Structure formats: C-alpha cells, structure tokens
Amino acid sequence: MKPALLEVMRMNRICRMVLATCLGSFILVIFYFQSMLHPVMRRNPFGVDICCRKGSRSPLQELYNPTQLELSNTNILHQMRRDQVTDTCRANSALSRKRRVLTPNDLKHLVVDEDHELIYCYVPKVACTNWKRLMMVLSGRGKYSDPMEIPANEAHVSANLKTLNQYSIPEINHRLKSYMKFLFVREPFERLVSAYRNKFTQKYNTSFHKRYGTKIIRRQRKNATQEALRRGDDVRFEEFVAYLIDPHTQREEPFNEHWQTVHSLCHPCHIHYDLVGKYETLEEDSNYVLRLAGVGSYLKFPTYAKSTRTTDEMTTEFFQNISSEHQTQLYEVYKLDFLMFNYSVPSYLKLE
C-alpha cells in the first residue's frame, strides 16, 4: 500500500476539499504576519493582481483549481496536510505563536523562484540539497539543465539562490500572497539522527566538531580527555541529546539549522504553506510540485539509491541507550513538528 494512502487512512479526517481557499492575507507590516488563527476565507484567491507566467496558469491556480484530474485527486491529500498544520497551530497557539513578529532573518530559509512563482522553505536533512539544485535549474534561466550536474557544495552557496529576506516589505507581501509556498518535512527523530550521523560521525566535518563537538563534550562528558576537548570529534548520541534538552543551550543561541525544529525554521503558523511534502513520499510529492509549476514534462526530482540513508530501524537503535527521562524531554522539544506534520509518537519511545 502506498505511503500516501496509508497517511490518508491514518489521518481519518473529514476531507474538507476547498478548491479556492486563501488562508490569510499575510499582509506584512514591519515584518508582522497576520494571524492564521482568524484566516480570511476567499472564494477565489486568484484576482487580477496575480500575474500569470507568460500566459500560462500559475502554480497557485493549478493547485487550488486544477485542470487535470490527476492533480485534483492528489490535492485532496495536500488539503488534509494543510488542515493538519492549521489545526495544530490553533490548538497550540500559545506555544506555536510565541513570537508575533518575524524579522528578515526568519525569512532566510525561503528560496524564491521568480520565473515559476514558487517559494521553497528548505529544511536541512530533508532532501534540501536536491531541492536547491532544482531551484537553481528553475531560476537559472537556462544556466543549468540537469540538477545532478550541480555539485552539492555549489547548491549550498547562498549567492546561487535568492531568499525572501532580500526583498523589500512590499515585495515580500506580494510574493507571500501570489507565489506557491511549499516545504518538505521528515519524521523528526529520524531527521535528528541523520543530522547527528552527518555532523558528528564523519571525520571531514571538522567545523562542526570544533564549534559544537567541543562544547558538547565539555558540558556533557565527565572526566573528558584533553584530546576529546580539543578535537570534539567523538560526540556520543546520548551527549548530543543531553545538549539539546539542556535549557542553557537554547538560552545561549538558537539551534543549528540541521537540528532546529521545522516550525522554527519555516514558521508555518505565521506563513501559510500551500503544499507540505514529505520525505516518506519524496519523489511523488516533488514531482507533483514540478507538475504544478508546469515543468513536470521535462524536469524530474533526482532519484538515486543512497546506502547511507538514515532509516527508522537505525533511529530505533540510536534511542535504545537514551533514558526515558531524556526521551520525554526531547519529545517535548520536537512535539510541535510531530503534531503539525502528523507523525505518530515512535513505538520505541519510553515516555514518562
């Protein structure tokens, strides 16, 4: 059975298919986003002020008022995902909307493609390298054609992509209203283990070892050797978890983007995302975005077997040595991501 179908069955919610819905006007005044708790519902969000791409329909139009039956059927699933985010924001408003004002720095993860009217919020460890490659192809105006020919390190050069924080406030308003906004999410603890494995178990990541590894070992390891304190390249997962749940950590500075929560990176309770893709259905959801953008006939999401990918079974093993107290505290840190994106509490957790 397909993962998308399993998700629909698990959600077990009444589908509220709204073909033309605008969940909030998102007027930005000194970077203030209008509350989604009282969304403005419009029958047709596609007024004359939305400029279509060279005579074609915009991705927003194709998403909310699809001309193809295949897209219409898929939209039911994505409407349910949007509803899940909105309902979670409402139910957890005190927690999810601690900040009512977003700064330009909060918009640095939102990549803009002017030509196809897309805004993509990238989340590290959720296929963001390949999606940045795709955004470089889409916005490169012919400079790139094959995303996999773009080196991974080049995809992460900030100058190669334009982000929303680089625009003026009126320009930000226009794009938030008129462009299709999307992001991709992943089971929170699987993403966390993936970040740990990549940043703390690979010898080449010396910058992370120096900046974070030495700090984690100094705080969390009793009787650490001078070599470990100097190199910071042998952080244990238990120490990493203890660092994340330590109140001093977040008081000192925000989490690094690789283990920061999705709701803190992309602000889905302040910014309404039209499409939420999932790592579990990555290829299917990615190609859906590309079809909505009108490029699906010649541009596909890159697929290749990655033997080092972090799996659910691997994540289970990493959590075996984490105490139930620390598991409970860590779940509280990532709880909103679990709820917002409809991920069940992992069966291996021993919550207090």
The distance in angstroms from the start CA to the end CA of the chain is 33
The DSSP 8-state label assigned to residue 184 in this structure reads E
The separation between CA 177 and the C-alpha centre of its own chain, rounded to angstroms, equals 19
Q: Give the amino acid at 323.
A: S
Looking at residue 68, its pLDDT comes to 76
Q: What is the rounded CA–CA span in Å between residue 193 and residue 259? A: 9
Q: Using alpha carbons, select from 263, 230, 274, 217 the residue that is nearest to residue 82.
A: 274
Q: What is the rounded CA–CA span in Å between residue 230 and residue 238? A: 19
Contact 185, 127 (CB under 8 A): no
Please give the full DSSP string across 205-251, using - where no structure is assigned. -HHHIIIIIHHHHHHH-TT--HHHHHH-----HHHHHHHHH-HHHHH
Please give the full DSSP string across 137-148, using - where no structure is assigned. HHHTTTS-S-GG
Looking at residue 30, its pLDDT comes to 35
Q: Give the amino acid at 178.
A: S
β-sheet bridge partners, residue 118: 113, 180
The phi, psi pair for 118, rounded to 5°, reads -125, 145
In order along its 352 residues, the chain shows pLDDT tens digits of 555 545 545 554 433 333 333 333 333 433 434 334 333 333 333 332 333 354 578 999 989 988 877 777 788 899 999 999 999 999 988 776 666 678 888 999 999 999 999 999 999 999 999 999 999 999 987 788 899 999 999 999 999 999 999 999 999 989 999 999 999 999 999 999 999 999 999 999 999 999 999 999 999 999 999 999 999 999 999 999 999 999 999 899 899 999 999 999 999 999 999 999 999 999 999 999 999 999 999 999 998 766 688 999 999 999 999 999 999 999 999 999 999 999 999 999 999 8
Q: What is the rounded CA–CA span in Å between residue 34 and residue 157? A: 32
Contact 198, 259 (CB under 8 A): no
Please give the full DSSP string across 92-136, using - where no structure is assigned. THHHHTS--B--GGGGTTEEEETTTTEEEE--TTSSHHHHHHHHH
Contact 175, 60 (CB under 8 A): no
The DSSP 8-state label assigned to residue 32 in this structure reads B
Beta carbons within 10 angstroms of residue 341's beta carbon: 21
